[in-house]
């Protein structure tokens, strides 16, 4: 643990009776100071991610968590990192809003001797961090594509005309999910009519869906939302336009994250399938920090466990890159236990 020494000067009476200033070492802090630069507060997923860190990095557990909500602004996030360096925290956790523009700031962390742990989204232009804890976003996209392929076959749907509501441009979650789903769409000859940024928010999902309805009404039978909050917005827009969706509707609705509210809509049949992205990384991050405290070398990559949730077992299994995947039908117990 880095000692937090605040050298203070105190007056002390010398033997000769003269006053003299002598350095006094402040008490070493017993707390491990962790700076966490979080993306923002744009979604239910993000709320769960933040809560996971706030539940783990508590004073009772031996931590002083310095939390910054970067409000989806990359400049704010880099500023937060530099503030943590000035504060001389013991560790920095960052969920990078976008995947590039990081090497300079991470070099400053390295020069300051502050280990960085990346969670959730990835950094493409620097490797100056100890570990990354998160999900394989391309696998999530491939799983959505392979499930849709099996679902279309099971329901005799021969033509797929899809609209995609993407996440924040430049976010690795957006890049990976888009890449994975597009790979299956290309292989199957599906048409992706449009793919626009909904910024992972409900308002963004609604605005993009309203625009899609104006441009493509009657031409699409699949909507892919790259997180649940966008799906909530798309549902509002399709409902207002009198477009049916879900297991009994004209439009197949696919989502990602599988937060509690998303799973409730799968259970009701409004969302056909929801591809989980597990936000509860903090316990795994703490394990990395404790390994570093003990002088051990942590894993450089830690992948979270995830499930593919569906309304029923029309499709019970499918394969991603030759590996069998199992669909999980949503139950009350699953909804109750979700984040
Ligand atoms: C994915 C995460 C994304 C979620 C969204 O790991 O970065 O950001 O899918 C969130 O809900 O906004």
Cα 41 to chain centroid, rounded: 11
Phi, psi dihedral angles at 197 (to 5 degrees): -75, 120
Residue nearest atom 2 in ligand 1 by C-alpha distance: 173
Tell me how far the alpha carbon of residue 200 lies from the centroid of ligand 1, in angstroms.
7
Question: If you average pLDDT over residues 270-274, what whole number do you get?
Answer: 98
Number of the ligand 1 atom closest to the C-alpha atom of 200: 12
Tell me how far the alpha carbon of residue 150 lies from the centroid of ligand 1, in angstroms.
26
HEC profile of 262-310: HHHHHHCCCCCEEEECCCCCHHHHHHHHHHHHCCCCCCCEEECCCCEEE
DSSP 8-state assignment for residue 248: T
Dihedral angle at the C-alpha atoms of 293, 52, 140, 192, nearest 10 degrees?
-130
Ramachandran area for residue 101 (φ above 0: left; ψ -120 to 50: alpha; else beta): left
Q: 165: closest CA among 241, 97, 255, 238?
A: 255
Phi, psi dihedral angles at 189 (to 5 degrees): 75, 25
Lining ligand 1 with CB less than 6 A are 42-43, 45-46, 120-121, 135, 173, 200, 227, 256-257, 277
Q: How far apart, in whole angstroms, are the C-alpha atoms of residue 289 and residue 32?
A: 9
The reported pLDDT for the residue numbered 15 is: 47
Helices (H), 35-171: 44-56, 74-87, 103-111, 137-154
Residue 3 pLDDT more than 60? no
% of the chain residues with pLDDT over 90: 91
Question: If you average pLDDT over residues 45-54, what whole number do you get?
Answer: 97
The reported pLDDT for the residue numbered 11 is: 47
Give CA separation, 260 vs 20, 268, 276, 311, in Å.
64, 12, 11, 14
Tell me how far the alpha carbon of residue 37 lies from the centroid of ligand 1, in angstroms.
15
Number of the ligand 1 atom closest to the C-alpha atom of 228: 11
* Bridge-based pairing state of the strands 191-197 and 252-257: unpaired
Question: If you average pLDDT over residues 105-128, what whole number do you get?
Answer: 98
Tell me how far the alpha carbon of residue 173 lies from the centroid of ligand 1, in angstroms.
6
Give CA separation, 187 vs 190, 191, 236, 268, in Å.
8, 11, 31, 31
Tell me how far the alpha carbon of residue 332 lies from the centroid of ligand 1, in angstroms.
24
270 — pLDDT class (breaks 50, 70, 90)? very high
Residue 291 pLDDT more than 50? yes
Which of 260, 277, 281, 304 is the best mutation target for the ligand 1 pocket, counting ligand atoms within 8 Å of the beta carbon and taking the most?
Answer: 277
Residue bearing tokens 């888009």: 178
Tell me how far the alpha carbon of residue 229 lies from the centroid of ligand 1, in angstroms.
10
Contact assessment for residue 200 and residue 229, using Cβ atoms and an 8 Å cutoff: yes
pTM of the model: 0.90
Residue bearing tokens 């699949």: 222
Q: How many CB atoms lie within 10 A of CB 339?
A: 18
Residue nearest atom 6 in ligand 1 by C-alpha distance: 120
Q: How far apart, in whole angstroms, are the C-alpha atoms of residue 209 and residue 259?
A: 21
> Which residues, other chains included, contact 10 with Cβ-Cβ below 8 Å and sequence gap of 6+?
21, 22, 24
Residue bearing tokens 């030759």: 322
Q: How far apart, in whole angstroms, are the C-alpha atoms of residue 231 and residue 118?
A: 27
pLDDT, one tens digit per residue, over 30-49 is: 999 999 999 999 999 999 99
The reported pLDDT for the residue numbered 160 is: 98
> Which residues, other chains included, contact 317 with Cβ-Cβ below 8 Å and sequence gap of 6+?
324, 325, 326, 327
The reported pLDDT for the residue numbered 14 is: 47
Which of 43, 96, 178 is the best mutation target for the ligand 1 pocket, counting ligand atoms within 8 Å of the beta carbon and taking the most?
Answer: 43
258 — pLDDT class (breaks 50, 70, 90)? very high
Tell me how far the alpha carbon of residue 231 lies from the centroid of ligand 1, in angstroms.
13
């Amino acid at each position: 643990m880095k000692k937090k020494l605040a050298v203070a000067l105190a007056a002390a009476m010398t033997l000769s009776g003269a006053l003299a200033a002598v350095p006094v070492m402040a008490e070493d802090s017993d707390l491990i100071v962790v700076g966490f630069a979080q993306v923002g507060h744009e979604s239910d997923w993000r709320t769960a991610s933040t809560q996971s860190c706030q539940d783990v990095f508590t004073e009772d557990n031996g931590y002083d968590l310095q939390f910054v909500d970067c409000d989806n602004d990359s400049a704010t996030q880099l500023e937060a990192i530099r503030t943590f360096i000035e504060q001389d925290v013991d560790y920095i956790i960052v969920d990078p809003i976008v995947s590039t523009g990081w090497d300079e700031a991470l070099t400053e962390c390295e020069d300051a001797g502050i280990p960085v742990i990346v969670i959730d989204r990835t950094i493409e232009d620097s490797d100056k961090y100890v570990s990354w804890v998160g999900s394989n976003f391309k696998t999530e996209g491939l799983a959505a594509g392979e499930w849709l392929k099996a679902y279309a076959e099971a329901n005799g749907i021969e033509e797929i005309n899809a609209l995609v509501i993407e996440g924040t441009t430049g976010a690795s979650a957006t890049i990976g999910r888009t890449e994975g789903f597009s790979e299956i769409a290309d292989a199957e000859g599906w048409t992706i009519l449009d793919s626009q940024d909904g910024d992972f928010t409900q308002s963004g999902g609604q605005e993009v869906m309203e625009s899609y309805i104006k441009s493509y009404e009657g031409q699409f039978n699949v909507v892919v939302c790259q997180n649940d909050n966008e799906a909530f917005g798309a549902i509002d827009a399709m409902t207002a336009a009198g477009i049916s969706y879900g297991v009994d509707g004209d439009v197949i609705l696919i989502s990602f994250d599988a937060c509690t509210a998303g799973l409730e809509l799968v259970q009701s049949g409004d969302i056909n399938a929801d591809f989980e992205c597990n936000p509860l990384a903090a316990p795994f991050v703490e394990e990395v920090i404790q390994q570093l405290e003990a002088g051990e070398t942590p894993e450089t990559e830690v992948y979270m466990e995830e499930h593919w949730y569906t309304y029923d077992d029309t499709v019970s299994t499918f394969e991603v890159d030759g590996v069998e995947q199992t669909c999980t039908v949503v139950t009350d117990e699953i909804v109750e236990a979700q984040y």
